[in-house]
Amino acid sequence: MWCMVYFFPGKSSNALRSWFVHHLPFPVAVAHVDGKWLSVPLDQYEDTVAAAKHFFGKQTEYGLSIAAQPTDAVLREQEYDRELELAYTEELAKKMNVTVSDEDVDNYFTQTILPQASSEDEIAQTLEDLYGWTVVDFKKNVLYPVVLRQKLNDALASDSSVDSSAQSTAEDVLAQVKAGEKTFEQLAEEYSTDTGSASSGGALGTFGKGVMVASFEEAAFALEVGALSELVKTQYGYHIIKLNSRDDGAGTVDASHILIGFETVDDRIEEITTSAKVYKMLPHYPVVEDTTTATENPYVDADAETEDASTAETNVNAEASVAE
């Protein structure tokens, strides 16, 4: 059972509130996804907000203009969105049977972060100074999400169904290009997942050797001007390449492509985001939300919205309707 504690404006830093935040396992929001409830823990959200405020406070000491800092509402919105996305990412990991151990995070810290400093003590001091964090906090709030995404990307890369789906789509697009009912440029705009070139008909411009990945470069330089490649596979997906021109003297070619990219972690998280129904569990709490995906807590009496904040610090309600 979740115990819902509602905090009112003007009472955000009292000791009672702080105790509740860090001792009771209630969420700042929940999301209903595929019949399951996901939560954004309030203590985790509060800790990341506090770290962000600490960071910007330090920037002020270092001379950063106050005008360049986000407002409290914007900062809270950013952290809220970040924590909600993490909840979706963790749900995706469960579906894909991907886990992250403490050892995984420690190894990332040792191999990637530690070499950038003279010692772990230097890292600890920097984290304390800039964010008010310990190394353990940093591993939990920053490195864990990074490692989780890496492992999800690795899992997708080894998923044969992801490869076959992209290949099937690419073969269909190649057939359409060869049929000539639409131009290469039209099909690039319609199908290419390369957002940097799709809107310009797949145009990549002029490039020499050593710029593109090896398999793409080899295929492009082997084409005759005006010719199309068959499907070319890279780590990004399947490409259909068209050679527009060649300058043998300069050793360059001008090419366009249509990329049918492999499904990404972002794609799958977007699917979860689109299907999720999000509820803000603390209606008086200063969280700014995207009203297209979030709604007020339907389990709270509307009359509670008008309660006088000057006479009530907390309103404790038992919440059993959405507990698991």
Domains along the chain with CATH numbers: 1-84+281-324 (no CATH), 96-158 (no CATH), 160-261 (3.10.50.40)
Given a cut of 70, whether residue 308 has pLDDT beyond it is no
Q: Tell me, what's the pLDDT at 163? A: 93
Which of residues 20 and 55 earns the better pLDDT score?
A: 55
Given a cut of 50, whether residue 296 has pLDDT beyond it is no
- Determine what percent of the chain is predicted with pLDDT higher than 90: 59
Q: Please state, in angstroms and as integers, the Cα–Cα distance from residue 281 to each residue in 29, 78, 81, 102, 320, following that order.
A: 5, 18, 15, 30, 13
According to DSSP, the residues that pair with 242 across neighbouring strands are: 228, 256
Given a cut of 60, whether residue 139 has pLDDT beyond it is yes
Structure tokens at 60: 């002020």
* DSSP assignments along 267-305, one per residue: HHHHHHHHH-EEEES-TTS-----TTTEEE-TTS-GGGG
- Give the strand pairing for 314-319 and 203-208: unpaired
| Continuous segment of H or E residues that includes residue 166 | helix 160-179
Q: Tell me, what's the pLDDT at 18? A: 59
What global pTM score does this model have? Answer: 0.68
Which of residues 302 and 42 earns the better pLDDT score?
A: 42
Strand ranges, E, within 151-303: 203-208, 232-234, 237-247, 252-261, 277-280, 294-296
Given a cut of 60, whether residue 114 has pLDDT beyond it is yes
Given a cut of 50, whether residue 6 has pLDDT beyond it is no
* Amino acid identity for residue 279 in this structure: Y
Query: What are the pLDDT digits (tens) for 228-258?
Result: 999 999 999 999 999 999 999 999 999 999 9
Structure tokens at 25: 């396992």
The neighbour count for residue 324, using CB atoms within 10 Å, is 7
The pLDDT of 149-166, averaged and rounded, is 93
